[in-house]
Structure formats: structure tokens, C-alpha cells
């Protein structure tokens, strides 16, 4: 997931809350995300059993876990994908290539409609029947 360095204005005090399916894992992200994008890579697909995953990237300092601890899975070298140990919802992604950032699954937020994706990544791995964002959505 390449990132665009669109840093949050310091005045943005929005608190985005979210949770896993069962509610044991809860989290908050403060302020605007650095990016929101759809990832079509095979790893995201397998981790979620869905054609793509929409991620919101935040600085680590913006993110607070407020519920149960996440369980982690090293899906590739330097990458940890984290999920609820009770219900299995995929919640977070951290990778050495994105040091200092926590990427959260947009659909685990309580108001995912407020975090619209701006871009597609790993389009080369996209399933042929899975749609990319139209230009009108950018
Ligand atoms: Zn859960
Ligand atoms: Zn991916």
C-alpha cells in the first residue's frame, strides 16, 4: 500500500471508533488518515476472504486499542496482520515498509462511510470481476 503524504491538519480532532465483529477488540483513530485505499493483493484477499480490502493508514500515535488485545500473523517478512482472537475479524496491518504507521480495515470502523477510498493498489493482482474505483470517485 503506497502512501500519499497527506498529513492530517492539526485541527482535525475527529475520533474514528471501530470494533471487530464480536466487539471484544475496540479501537480509536484520532484525526484524518494519511490515506484510504483499496488493496487488491492476494495476501489481503486471503486474509479477508474478500476480493479486496479497504485500508485507512494512520500514524501509530493516532491509534489506540481500547478493548481486547489483537492476535498477530506474520503474513510475509516484516509484515504483521492482526485480528480478533475470538471472532477473527481482520483489524490491523503493520509492515516494516510503513514504519510508524498502523493501517486499519475501514470496514471495521463504526462509520466506514466517512472513510472513502481514494485509490486502488496492486491492481495487477485484482480479480477480473472485481471493480476498480471509477474516476468519479477519486
Ligand atoms: Zn471479535
Ligand atoms: Zn494488500
- Ligand with minimal distance to 84 CA: 1
Q: Which of 4, 12, 18 is nearest to 104 (CA)?
A: 18
- Fold classification of 15-125 is 2.170.150
CA–CA dist 102, 94 (Å, integer): 5
> Given pLDDT bands bounded at 50, 70 and 90, which one contains residue 9?
low
Calculate how far, in angstroms, residue 34's C-alpha sits from the geometric centre of ligand 1: 26
- Ligand with minimal distance to 89 CA: 1
What strands, in cross-sheet order, belong to the sheet with 63-65?
Answer: 15-19, 26-30, 63-65
Calculate how far, in angstroms, residue 103's C-alpha sits from the geometric centre of ligand 2: 11
Give the pLDDT confidence of 89-120 residue by residue, as tens digits: 999 999 999 999 999 999 999 999 999 999 99
Calculate how far, in angstroms, residue 10's C-alpha sits from the geometric centre of ligand 2: 29
Where do the structural domains in the chain lie, given as residue ranges?
A: 15-125
Calculate how far, in angstroms, residue 88's C-alpha sits from the geometric centre of ligand 1: 6
Amino acid at each position: 500500500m503506497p502512501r500519499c503524504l497527506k498529513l492530517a491538519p492539526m485541527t482535525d480532532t475527529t475520533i474514528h471508533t471501530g470494533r471487530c465483529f464480536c466487539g471484544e477488540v475496540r479501537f480509536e483513530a484520532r484525526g484524518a488518515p494519511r490515506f484510504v485505499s483499496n488493496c487488491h493483493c492476494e495476501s489481503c484477499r486471503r486474509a479477508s476472504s474478500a476480493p479486496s480490502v479497504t485500508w485507512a493508514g494512520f500514524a501509530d500515535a493516532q491509534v489506540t486499542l481500547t478493548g481486547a488485545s489483537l492476535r498477530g500473523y506474520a503474513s510475509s517478512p516484516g509484515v504483521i496482520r492482526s485480528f480478533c482472537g475470538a471472532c477473527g475479524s481482520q483489524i490491523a496491518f503493520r509492515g516494516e515498509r510503513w514504519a510508524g504507521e498502523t493501517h486499519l480495515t475501514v470496514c471495521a470502523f463504526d462509520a466506514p462511510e466517512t472513510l472513502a477510498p481514494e485509490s486502488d493498489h496492486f491492481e495487477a493482482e485484482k480479480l477480473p470481476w472485481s471493480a476498480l474505483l471509477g474516476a468519479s470517485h477519486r
